[in-house]
């Protein structure tokens, strides 16, 4: 049974699913849709064209769907779409899209957004991603599934973060991070592969061995990057994670690929 606290303000035009809980001092706008089993703890603000998927939990003082922090935004109708079974902790902010980014910000399923994290306009977040406390994404950022953005990190607009990547805490990310990669630093450098995360996802020893070998070949000093990618593609054509890295690097992007430091190895 849906439970709406008497101290909450819920617009009569909002679409509220079954078994939704809306705590005291929450504000839900007229164009908001809350699917079944959504929980708003208290003091949650949800506005704009925002849809929240089933089973998502939203903690106090989160603000979802307010206007993008973009001076090019002029009130055009845009959306924030949040998937199912997400956990959105205190003081998290998420903004809808803009005309320059397809008018949609999209969050996948089973993600965790810790205290104070921020998702700007037009970001695309895949399933199982984690933003740790006060991690911030600028506009148009893409985050792959199972990626982790460490606490107090900041990601530049239009950067892509590949699946299973790990962004170390207090890292400034200006360039694309390859799938399975790990980056650290004031201005992020690739410090190797996210071996801990890969093991947690139950990758086999052979897959991890090939990933390490392919990583060293891709970022070796000999030859051009294009030549190295061709060599790796030929040697590891049957290894799906390696091919995902190659596809990521070859894809068009407005940002460069984050490179290793001189002494960093997989």
216-246 confidence digits (pLDDT tens) = 999 999 999 999 999 999 999 999 999 999 9
What are the domain boundaries of the chain?
A: 3-194, 199-250
Choose, from 83, 116, 139, 197, the residue flagged as catalytic.
Answer: 139
Phi/psi for 149 (5° steps) reads -110, 115
Q: State residue 208's pLDDT score.
A: 95
- Sorting pLDDT into bands at 50, 70 and 90, what band is 26? very high
139 among known catalytic residues: yes
The question of whether 116 is a catalytic residue gets the answer no
Residues 153-191: pLDDT tens digits? 999 999 999 999 999 999 999 999 999 999 999 999 999
121 is catalytic: yes
- Confidence (pLDDT) at 165: 98
Residue 264 confidence (pLDDT): 59
pLDDT greater than 80 at residue 140: yes
**Domain 3-194 adopts which CATH fold?**
UDP N-Acetylglucosamine Acyltransferase; domain 1 (2.160.10)
pLDDT at 83: 98
Mean pLDDT, to the nearest integer, of 32-46? 98
For domain 199-250, the CATH architecture is Up-down Bundle (1.20)
Average pLDDT of the chain is 96
Catalytic residue among 43, 91, 118, 121: 121
- Which of 122, 128, 181, 192 is catalytic? The answer is 122
Contact 243/163 with Cβ under 8 angstroms? no
What average pLDDT does the segment 9-25 reach? 98
The answer on pLDDT for 197 being more than 70 is yes
For 81-135, how does the pLDDT look when each residue is reduced to its tens digit (9 = 90+)?
999 999 999 999 999 999 999 999 999 999 999 999 999 999 999 999 999 999 9
pLDDT band at 261 (very low <50, low <70, confident <90, very high): confident
């Amino acid at each position: 049974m849906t439970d709406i606290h008497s101290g909450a303000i819920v617009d009569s035009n909002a679409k509220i699913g079954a078994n939704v809980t809306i705590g005291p001092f929450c504000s839900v706008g007229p164009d908001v849709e809350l699917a079944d089993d959504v929980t708003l703890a208290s003091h949650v603000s949800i506005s704009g064209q925002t849809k929240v998927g089933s089973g998502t939990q939203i903690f106090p003082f989160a603000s979802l769907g307010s206007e993008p922090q973009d001076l090019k935004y002029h009130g055009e109708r845009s959306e924030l779409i949040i998937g199912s079974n997400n956990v959105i902790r205190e003081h998290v902010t998420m903004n809808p899209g803009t005309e320059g980014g397809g008018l949609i910000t999209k969050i996948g399923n089973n993600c965790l957004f810790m205290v104070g994290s921020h998702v700007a306009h037009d970001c695309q977040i895949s399933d199982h991603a984690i933003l740790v406390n006060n991690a911030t994404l600028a506009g148009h950022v893409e985050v792959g599934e199972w990626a982790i953005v460490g606490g107090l990190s900041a990601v530049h607009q239009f950067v892509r973060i590949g699946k299973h990547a790990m962004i170390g805490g207090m890292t400034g990310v200006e360039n694309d991070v390859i799938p399975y990669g790990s980056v650290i630093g004031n201005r992020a450098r690739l410090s190797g592969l996210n071996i801990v995360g890969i093991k947690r996802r139950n990758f086999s020893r052979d897959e991890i061995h090939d990933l390490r070998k392919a990583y060293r070949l891709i970022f070796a000093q000999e030859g051009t990057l294009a030549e190295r990618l061709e060599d790796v593609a030929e040697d590891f054509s049957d290894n799906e994670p390696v091919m995902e890295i190659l596809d990521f690097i070859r894809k068009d992007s407005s940002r460069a690929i984050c490179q290793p430091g001189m002494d960093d190895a997989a």
